Amino acid sequence: MSIELSQFISTFLEESYEGLDIMESGLLNFNSSDEEAINTIFRAAHSIKGGAGTFGFNEVADFTHDVETLLDEMRSNKQESTPALVNLLLESTDCIRALLEAAQDGPEVDAQMISQVQKRLKEVLGIETESIAVEVEGSSAQGMPAQDSDTAWSVHFIPNSNLLQSGHEPLFMFDALSELGELEIEVTTDILPVLSSFKPEEVYLSWKLLLISECSEEDIKEVFEWVEDECDLNICVSQVTSKPEVDADAGSGWAIRFTPDVGIIQTGNDPSLMFAALFELGDAVVTPNFDKLPQINDLSADLVYLSWEIKLTSTCTKEEVLEIFEWVEDDCELDVTKLPSVSKTAVNHSNTPSAVPPTTTSNAPSSVPNDKQKAVDTGAKPKGKSSAANAKKSTEASSIRVDTEKVDSLINRVGELVITQAMLGQVGADISEITAGPEVERLQTGLELLERNTRDLQEDVMRVRMLPISFVFNRFPRLVHDVSGKLGKKVELVLSGEQTEIDKTVMEKIGDPMTHLIRNSLDHGLETPEERLAAGKSEIGKVELSAYHQGGHIIIDIIDDGRGLNTQKIFDKACEKGLINKDQQLSDQEINELVFKAGFSTADEVTDLSGRGVGMDVVRRNIESLGGQVSIKSEANKGSTFSVKLPLTLAILEGQLVRVHEDTYIIPLVSIVETILATNSAINSIAGESKLLHFREDYISLLNLKNIFKLNTDPQADEMESNLIAIVESGGKKVGLIVDELYGQQQVVIKSLEVNFKRVEGLSGATILGDGSVALILDVAGLMQRGQAFELEAAVKEA
Amino acid sequence: MGSILVVDDSASIRNMVSFALKQAGHQVTEAENGQDGLKKAQAGRFDLVLTDVNMPLMDGITFCGELRKLTPFKFTPILMLTTESSDNMKQKGKTAGATGWLVKPFNPEKLLSTIQRVVR
């Protein structure tokens, strides 16, 4: 059966990114005395490595291996957890992330960065890259067929019978020899006494060893160095040069003596299953030995009293045989020796003392107590019932992962439902106006219920898209750590309201502007430790991120306790840049707002931190494109607060319905400053079609929507202009929109114009009203641009 | 065909292992860590337990030791899914009562052939 692994990869990637986040936040709050914290970091790295290996991300697995090793050394105090090491580990998480992203069709990795970090990891771990290469070569050479330079050493080892009493163990010596090369062992049992005179502490065996290795005679002698006085040792170059496996004929096999510890089945290992595995390697004759079987009354179902001798006829390697016993090698005595040929097997067999004649078993379980245990076990197992219970258990889960497309489609559907519901509501209202009766009342009740349920449904569905803002906040501890390090400032970051929920789309788009605002606070807002001390503050600056809900909006405050905005400097700069006039009288608040103007930067030199060629004007524009606002409060030497106000979702908008000519338009409520009925004297016409409104010591330009959208069919009607003006604001600029009538305010579901029609400058979308008619939603920023272009056009025409 | 408890904190590995086991006709119950595994082990009967070593709340070694103390699990094969191929970890596992181990990374084929050694 082949199983496609690719289906698990997206889960692996997701959990790896989560793991990286865990590592990162753990490292940022690193405290070497917190054992659980470092264990958590270690586990995350460990899981990434394991998954990466399993799903074929070998580069990730290799890289993470060193990270894991370092973490392991840190948690076992083999490495001191210095800030430098923590930084190295942070860089490593970046590398792992980059490798994962690259594997996921992301940008190509910076191979130099990876290898550089990897080299540093290896240096810390004391691994030399060169020595690894050599090691790999060495170990692979071991597995390869004998080279020409190999010598076949014949070693005849006849220990004295008291060898064991001096603490020596021939098996260990053979182990050491097998490390030198390919080892074949043949045991000679000629002097084995009859059982009655057998002394367990004495050695009756001798061995003929064939070692194929590059080693010298001295190397072999060294293995036997400590026993050379207690044995006869004969080492010579053998005439046999080829490996035993190579010339092994089909009839050869293995003699296996298997004496398990009595408690073996309590480790879950079942000898009969091991034999079954042996049968898969070839023909096997299993001979049980009942010598240690106690009286029936003393028999315990938990214990194994048997031992076995198995003759396996197979061309398999010794490793394949040993693998079957791999898990019990410490729980048994196991002796596997080569049977050179079938005929020799028979001879050997006749030499072994065996009380019971060999029985050829194909598959039958051969352990009596074990069978008994099995029977007891299955008897107690209500299989059908347990599996049903298991199936039920496995369906339990606290959360599910769903494709965002599915959620979006659901939200869209609900949006349609809201519109249909509004239409029905309108019809219901119309009907109740012309007629009355119990049916109409019932219809009204039903419609009210429908409305309530629809709203609830809409709210619930919207909530599905909502995620805690911590997803954005989580990236900032790292940012603050890195940036403050570069600036040489000491900064404490305080997060609050991380659980405040916000729409996923808004969240994805708010990350960059937030990053910019925080960089700005760190770079321009906070002072250096020296400056802070001189100003009588703690040398550690504080940046606070706080999120909370406020009337259908989410507010994110970025508060620093730095020097505050320098109004004089801002004023001078703005004059210099020609943004304002020198003799303009501005309040401090108005001056502060200037930092959001395009082309404004007070930094004496553009640092690579907050500079980056992006001004605060771009931040404001990005936030406004999300239907949000950004404002600023500042007090000299106390600090500044940037407040970002965002809609909870982009799918619904609070709108003011207005009539222009014969059509209904929607102005986003968030951009309306106020609506006024202006007196004729307040409106001044200037060159061309442009009009200005004198509004509270200020002049703001007026935009006639009729002209902009070319709604005017009758040029004469232009004279009869409405004085109803909605003053809207965007990008710190105000304009007045001339409208004919104000309707109500309502929540509207936004339908994209781009998707359903095409992009239109000045419009952000459309919605369907209760009566089924379409209303266009105005995009204030776009309107301003369109208005400017329109005026320019008109001015050119005039000229 | 057996009933198998799979304990691993990594969802991708857990999914892969249980998918492979289900394909081979086994009943699978999943648990996210030792604590969860112990709870599920007590609620059901299993022919085999596969457990990761490094897990939050309760690691695989502790889990294995706790499981062995329960009478129904006295003889149940418990395999450790371990990335540590070091003898140290195997030894710790054996001491806690593990039956055997399967070294990560492994593929589904290797998994199925290995568990044949303890479950038929």
Q: Which of A40, A377, A389 sits opposite B56 (nearest CB)?
A: A40
The pLDDT-based confidence of A671 (bands split at 50, 70, 90) is confident
Neighbours of A648 (CB within 10 A): 19
Contact between A390 and B99 using a beta-carbon 8 Å cutoff: no
The residue ranking higher by pLDDT, A538 or A79, is A538
Q: Which of A2, A330, A394 sits opposite B29 (nearest CB)?
A: A394
In this predicted model, what pLDDT tens digit does every residue of A254-266 receive, in sequence order? 889 999 888 888 8
CATH 3.30.43.10 fits A468-647, yes or no: no
CATH superfamily, region A5-127: HPT domain (1.20.120.160)
pLDDT score of A391 more than 70: no
Q: Which residues of A touch B75 (CB under 8 A)?
A: 265-266, 268, 302, 373, 377
Q: Phi-psi region for residue A173, left (φ > 0), alpha (ψ -120 to 50) or beta?
A: alpha
Where is mean pLDDT largest: A194-198, A310-314, A585-589?
A: A310-314
Do A334 and A258 meet the contact criterion of CB atoms below 8 Å apart?
yes
**Considering its fold, how many domains does chain B have in total?**
1
Contact between B72 and A387 using a beta-carbon 8 Å cutoff: no
**Cβ of residue B40 closer than 8 Å to a chain A Cβ:** yes
Looking at A167-176, A375-384, A535-544, which range is the least confident one? A375-384
pLDDT score of A145 more than 60: no
Distance CA A728, CA A84 (A): 53
Looking at A174-183, A288-297, B81-90, which range is the least confident one? B81-90
Show the 3-state SS of A450-511. HHHHHHHHHHHHHHHCEEECHHHHCCHHHHHHHHHHHHCCEEEEEEECCCCEEEHHHHHHHH
Distance CA A3, CA A54 (A): 13
Contact between A266 and B74 using a beta-carbon 8 Å cutoff: yes
Element (H, E) at A724: strand A724-730
CB pairs A-B closer than 8 Å: 138
DSSP A608-656: TTTTTT--HHHHHHHHHHTT-EEEEEEETTTEEEEEEEEES-SSEEEEE
Residue B12 lies in a domain: yes
**Cβ of residue B85 closer than 8 Å to a chain A Cβ:** no
b/e map A275-289, b = 16+ CB within 10 Å: bbbbbebbebbbbbb
The pLDDT-based confidence of A365 (bands split at 50, 70, 90) is very low
The residue ranking higher by pLDDT, A353 or A438, is A438
Residue B62 lies in a domain: yes
Q: How is chain A split among helix, strand and coil, in percent rounded to 5?
A: 45, 25, 30
CATH of residue B97's domain is 3.40.50.2300
Q: Which residues of B touch A53 (CB under 8 A)?
A: 83, 104-105
In a 3-state reduction of DSSP, which class is residue A192? coil
In this predicted model, what pLDDT tens digit does every residue of B37-76 receive, in sequence order? 999 999 888 989 999 988 888 999 999 999 988 888 888 8
Where is mean pLDDT largest: A245-249, A516-520, A612-616?
A: A516-520
pLDDT score of A611 more than 80: no
The pLDDT-based confidence of A360 (bands split at 50, 70, 90) is very low
Give B62 to chain A, closest Cα distance, Å. 15
CATH superfamily, region A652-798: CheA-289, Domain 4 (2.40.50.180)
| Burial environment of residue A117 by CB neighbours within 10 A (0 to 12, 13 to 18, 19 or more) | buried
**Cβ of residue B87 closer than 8 Å to a chain A Cβ:** no
Distance CA A231, CA A222 (A): 14
**Cβ of residue B21 closer than 8 Å to a chain A Cβ:** no
Q: Please report, for chain A, the start and end positions of each structural domain, with discontinuous segments joined by +.
A: 5-127, 145-376, 404-465, 468-647, 652-798
Do A281 and A325 meet the contact criterion of CB atoms below 8 Å apart?
no
Q: Which residues of A touch B13 (CB under 8 A)?
A: 47, 50-51, 54
b/e map B38-57, b = 16+ CB within 10 Å: bebbeebbbbbbbbbbbbee
No. of helices (H) and no. of strands (E), chain A: 26, 26
pLDDT of residue A787: 78
Question: Among A117, A125, A115, which Cα is nearest to A71's?
Answer: A125
Percentage of chain A modeled with pLDDT above 70: 81
Q: Which residues of B touch A8 (CB under 8 A)?
A: 12, 15-16, 19
Q: Which of B3, B7, B8, B12 to mutate to test the interface with A (most CBs of A within 10 A)?
A: B12
Distance CA A62, CA A45 (A): 12
Q: Which residues of B touch A274 (CB under 8 A)?
A: 117
Q: Which residues of B touch A60 (CB under 8 A)?
A: none
Q: Which residues of B touch A394 (CB under 8 A)?
A: 18, 28-30
Q: Taking CA atoms, what residue in B is nearest to A394?
A: B29
Give B9 to chain A, closest Cα distance, Å. 8
pLDDT of residue A642: 92
Residue B120 lies in a domain: no
Strands B3-7 and B48-52 turn out to be parallel
Token digits of residue A632: 């600023």
Q: How many CA atoms lie within 13 A of A273 on its CB side?
A: 21
What value does the mean pLDDT of chain A take?
78
| Burial environment of residue A745 by CB neighbours within 10 A (0 to 12, 13 to 18, 19 or more) | middle
Q: Which of A9, A277, A394 sits opposite B30 (nearest CB)?
A: A394
Q: Which residues contact A311 (CB under 8 A, 6 or more apart)?
A: A253, A254, A255, A256, A284, A285, A287, A339, A345, A349, A358
Contact between B44 and A381 using a beta-carbon 8 Å cutoff: no
pLDDT score of A225 more than 70: no
Token digits of residue A370: 């074990």
Q: Which residues of B touch A269 (CB under 8 A)?
A: 77, 99-100, 118
Rounded mean pLDDT of A105-116?
81
Q: Which of A272, A326, A327 to mutate to test the interface with B (most CBs of B within 10 A)?
A: A327
pLDDT of residue A689: 65
Contact between A327 and B99 using a beta-carbon 8 Å cutoff: yes
Residues making up chain A, counted from first to last? 799
Give B116 to chain A, closest Cα distance, Å. 8
| Greatest extent of chain B over all pairs of C-alpha atoms, in Å | 34
pLDDT of residue A606: 47
Neighbours of A270 (CB within 10 A): 24
Q: Which residues of A touch B106 (CB under 8 A)?
A: 54
**Cα first-last separation, chain B:** 7
Q: Which residues of A touch B27 (CB under 8 A)?
A: 387, 390-391
In this predicted model, what pLDDT tens digit does every residue of A464-499 receive, in sequence order? 888 888 888 888 888 898 888 888 888 999 999 888
Model pTM score: 0.49
Neighbours of A36 (CB within 10 A): 9
Distance CA B67, CA A699 (A): 81
Q: Which residues contact B99 (CB under 8 A, 6 or more apart)?
A: A267, A268, A269, A327, B77, B78, B79, B118
pLDDT score of A241 more than 90: no
**Cβ of residue B86 closer than 8 Å to a chain A Cβ:** no
Strands A691-695 and A698-704 turn out to be antiparallel
Distance CA A5, CA B109 (A): 11
The residue ranking higher by pLDDT, B37 or A599, is B37
Contact between B12 and A11 using a beta-carbon 8 Å cutoff: yes
Do A69 and A125 meet the contact criterion of CB atoms below 8 Å apart?
yes
The pLDDT-based confidence of A705 (bands split at 50, 70, 90) is confident
pLDDT of residue B41: 92
In this predicted model, what pLDDT tens digit does every residue of B92-118 receive, in sequence order? 887 888 888 888 888 888 888 888 777
The residue ranking higher by pLDDT, A739 or A144, is A739
The domain in which residue B103 lies consists of 3-115
Q: Which of B44, B112, B117 sits opposite A277 (nearest CB)?
A: B117
Residue B51 lies in a domain: yes
pLDDT of residue A478: 86
Contact between A43 and B12 using a beta-carbon 8 Å cutoff: no
Contact between A51 and B72 using a beta-carbon 8 Å cutoff: no
Find residues 62-81 of chain B whose CB sits inside 8 Å of chain A.
68, 72, 74-78
pLDDT score of A136 more than 80: no
Question: Among A159, A295, A308, which Cα is nearest to A233's?
Answer: A159
